[in-house]
Structure 1
């Protein structure tokens, strides 16, 4: 009786989804959204096309799910109990994400997505959600008294994350932990002293009618 060949174990569940997301990001690093095909993603992931279409009817659905997953997993919002520790943890994830192969596909989408309104809407929604999530760092710091009320938390985080991206992408330099700590200290000094606070609209008191006539 011939020996039975063991069939390769099929990948299912979260492991399968993760493999498909990795294949999607790899393809997005190679081609733009217009040229992305479900067939090529399925081939790279080693699954049938029907597996993709059952979960994600269109490539826009697949890209949305992939971006949701990668931004949630790769960019975390830590809660260490102090502002500086939280910012350092957050910026570490930003730096590591910028250095990852996945970021190539994300950057391609961000710069090329404007030509596709539906894709642009997906990217904007995910960005807004992640921005709101990361602002929890600032909200907790205000509650602990580490930052003054009225500080522009969005601007503070954008300035820090933007500086990291600029050094990595445009200057092609390393951004080690020591440099991250210097960046945090530099920008926090201004924020903690009211720099960049959101100004409240100035309301002028109305003069009495008699005073206006004189």
Structure 2
């Protein structure tokens, strides 16, 4: 495969560069799902994607940045942020999408990898960036609810999403109990009931 200069790649974002990026990110997520993050290498991803290793290094620079980009792309596509017009249905839909994503090999691999502590500061930083990015994306659910008057102005966005999502992620990582079909709605009710009790008190 013929290499292109970075400037040429940037001038054609919808052409070969976009196809290469998608192929590499898809390959990275496949390796992550099949072998885990410990065995993911740029060389292995490049080979699976059918591109030169130097192409991957030039675009992403490090394995950690590649993993981060792949996880963000995969989770954004697999866990869309809904806008139903009401906080209850928004949270329930988001939790259902998360549960469905965690039921896939890729989703389980991401959850398990993200739950591991890392002595590698670059990898630890990548995980932190991943979680913060997902929090920022999903946090609009709470922001909209506050603007509509459904939630108090001082609602802790991160806490709401953690209370909603952590039980699903724990079950996916530990596998001790299944994620029942009605669990997203039950978690949504528990979170909102808790917020209302705090407000009423």
Say yes or no: TM over 0.5: yes
The answer to which structure has the higher helix fraction is 2
Contact 2:142–2:157 (Cα < 8 Å) also in 1: yes
- What TM-score, normalized by structure 1, do the two folds share? 0.74
Q: Does 1:67 align with 2:71?
A: yes
Distance 1:51-1:130 versus aligned 2 partners, 3 A rule: same
User: Structure 2: any 5+ residue segments left out of the alignment?
Assistant: 1-14
Give the distance between the partners of 2:160 and 2:66, measured in 1 at CA: 32
Considering only aligned residues, what root-mean-square deviation do their CA atoms show, in Å? 2.5
Q: Following TM superposition, by how much is the alpha carbon of 1:129 offset from its aligned partner in structure 2, in angstroms? A: 2.2
The question of 1:192 aligning with 2:196 is answered: yes
Structure 1 unpaired stretches of 5+: 1-10, 198-214
Equivalent position to 1:116, from 117, 120, 127:
120
1:107, distance to aligned residue in structure 2 (A):
3.2
CA drift of 1:34 comes to 4.9
- Kindly report structure 1 stretches of 4+ aligned residues shifted beyond 6 Å: none
Residues 1:18 and 1:175: Cα distance change in structure 2 (over 3 Å):
farther
Q: Which has more radius of gyration?
A: 1
Alignment TM-score, normalising by the size of structure 2: 0.79
Shift in Å, 1:69: 1.5
CA-to-partner distance for each residue in 1:162-204, whole Å, 9 max, x for gaps? 122233443341331x332222122211212226x9xxxxxxx
